[in-house]
Structure 1
Amino acid sequence: MKTDMMEAARAFRWLFTLLLGLLALHALAAPASGNDLPSAVDLHLEADLAKKTASPLIVIFSRPDCKYCKAVKRDYLKPLISDPRYRGVVIRQVDQDSAAPLIDFRGKLTTQARFASAEKVKLVPVVAFYGPDGKRLVEPIVGARLADFYQTYLEDSIEKSTAALKAR
């Protein structure tokens, strides 16, 4: 009986290690297209990474067939990565309809679609700003809004999120 439990525990550890390895490979894989951002894999670790740079974790909820999502990623979020004012910013995307595995902020395994549903995302794009505890720091930016003002909305949300982190 004890041997069976030890074998089961060993098998569980092996499967868990394999799953983590696959998730890491998925995270390191190159984005599928020019305007894609890294896909969220482990929000708990990604929020911790953002915390180390004293910035919020920025998550865009999107869909592959959403032209507004593509525009927000291409025109506003991707340029943040090379902007010296936002050095070290961590941006991830969550596909509203994807069954891809995702570890949530509490370290629990879910899917991207279930996480989007739990966050009450109904329309995309949604750009949300999270602290290391997984709580939203400011109201998310919902929709593409007016192109002339989107950059201002984004920068304002990052500034307010960063201030909220410092106030904690």
Structure 2
Amino acid sequence: MNELTLNLALKRRHFLSVASLGLSQGVWAQSGASAVLPTPQSLQAELNRALQQKQPLIVMVSLEGCPFCRVARSSHLVPMQKAGAPIVQLDMRSAQAVLDFQGRSTTHDQLIKQWRISIAPTLLFFGPGGKEVAERMEGGYLPDFYGPYLDERLIKGRQAL
């Protein structure tokens, strides 16, 4: 077995073990309606509201049918949003219109491509002028670590404001 094949096999085994852990704990096998985050009409307006609260704007980039997105949304982001954290969602492959941080009309998918995002979920943390103020969170994390990584990014984002 060459090194590339071995590396792919190890990654696949790791993914399957993480997935089975999540399923056995009921993390991905949730019933009922899935949690929903608001989709913005204007990122500029959402950012202004976030900055009035002295918070970074969190933008979740999601993909329909993505189990990792569903876990991040229902376990972490929706509860935070209900508690008042400024969080919105943009969807990969969506032609839904949105105004960017400069007030220009675009679509979810065009904006996501402009930001060079290819992994769902991805969380971005924006501050004044639509500049990223903390490191992106890309992909799914183990459930035990997602919350602490998210908290770390929020602290850095707030400090940058």
TM over 0.5: yes
Write the distance in 2 (CA, Å) between the matches of 1:159 and 1:91: 15
Residue of structure 1 aligned with 2:101, choices 90, 99, 105? 105
User: Which amino acid in the other structure matches residue 75 of structure 1?
Assistant: S
Runs of 4+ in 1 over 4 A off after TM superposition: none
Residue of structure 2 aligned with 1:157, choices 140, 153, 159? 153
Residue of structure 1 aligned with 2:133, choices 124, 130, 137? 137
User: Which amino acid in the other structure matches residue 62 of structure 1?
Assistant: S
Unpaired stretches in structure 1, ≥5 consecutive residues = 1-32
User: Which amino acid in the other structure matches residue 57 of structure 2?
Assistant: L
**Contact persistence 1:57–1:90 (CA under 8 A):** yes
User: What is the TM-score with the length of structure 1 in the denominator?
Assistant: 0.74
Q: Which is higher, the Rg of structure 1 or of structure 2? A: 1
User: Which amino acid in the other structure matches residue 76 of structure 1?
Assistant: H
Unpaired stretches in structure 2, ≥5 consecutive residues = 1-32
1:43 maps to: 43
Offset, 1:132: 2.9
**Contact persistence 1:69–1:124 (CA under 8 A):** yes
SS in 2 for 1:144: coil
Offset, 1:80: 1.1
User: CA RMSD, aligned part only?
Assistant: 1.1
Deviations 1:105-140 (A, max 9, x none): 011000000000001110100011001311100111
User: What is the TM-score with the length of structure 2 in the denominator?
Assistant: 0.77
User: Which amino acid in the other structure matches residue 132 of structure 2?
Assistant: R
